Structure 1
């Protein structure tokens, strides 16, 4: 069971914070807590409410993490697939998937059609 190094922990927080600022303006901030190989991601709303969103599992690389969605009905995390069908992906993909559910924005699950030049 690999645990992320300090540099990866810092990088993850920075990446998710940047992405949330750009894509999820309803969030005041994103919180990241670590325990062993897991990173627990919370969304903080402007009114102070904290939404557990998902859990990421470190597998040895900062660019690809295992994904588990938070299920309020079970008050726990459930290994899940991202909208692309994979059970691991970028932290930003995981945040988009969870926020699409908990912030009620299903456009987060649509493929990115932004042209690349």
Structure 2
């Protein structure tokens, strides 16, 4: 009988702490891809790491508020615009398993205010950071 242990991982559990060199390469890949494909749709990106996770947020130029909205918030136009410019849009969270081409993906759901497991367009649970950005970037196109 073969007692070889088979290691398996689930897309929504576990992972490997992201090494500094992988963090650096990943940040560069995401930034270059975002600029090339979504340039002008965001003011800046915030790519941060915590343990096994890479979080991608974007900051955008908010639309002009109506006078009714300003009355409801009790803010001036400048206060409103400043607050929204400082509010991140959570695009996605990546989970690292040791392969820079096969990340787990969680999509931020604003209805539940949490990250939820998400499949890539290929139908699988593993994929590259560029495709993950595409999925999260739907929030950049939302009006």
Q: Is TM (by shorter chain) over 0.5?
A: yes
The TM tier, using the shorter chain, reads 0.7 to 0.9
Which residue in the other structure is 1:54 paired with? 92
CA contact (8 A) 2:92 2:107 kept: yes
Aligned residue among 37, 45, 50 for 1:23 = 37
Which residue in the other structure is 1:36 paired with? 51
Aligned-pair RMSD on alpha carbons?
Answer: 1.5
List, as ranges, runs of 4+ consecutive aligned residues in structure 1 with deviation greater than 4 Å: none
Aligned residue among 58, 64, 69 for 2:107 = 69
CA contact (8 A) 1:17 1:29 kept: no
Which residue in the other structure is 1:104 paired with? 141
Gaps of 5+ in 1: 106-117
CA contact (8 A) 1:80 1:87 kept: yes
As a proportion of its length, which structure holds more strand? 1
Q: Does 1:88 align with 2:102?
A: no
Larger Rg: 2
CA contact (8 A) 1:32 1:42 kept: yes
Query: How far, CA to CA, are the matches of 1:30 and 1:64 in structure 2?
Result: 22
Give the number of equivalent residue pairs.
Answer: 104
Q: By how many angstroms is 1:32 displaced? A: 1.1
Which residue in the other structure is 2:23 paired with? 9
Q: Which structure is higher in RCO with an 8 Å CA cutoff and minimum separation 6?
A: 2
CA contact (8 A) 2:42 2:140 kept: no
Gaps of 5+ in 2: 1-14, 63-84
CA distance 1:92–1:9, shift in 2 (3 Å): same
The alignment's TM-score, normalised by the length of structure 1, stands at 0.81
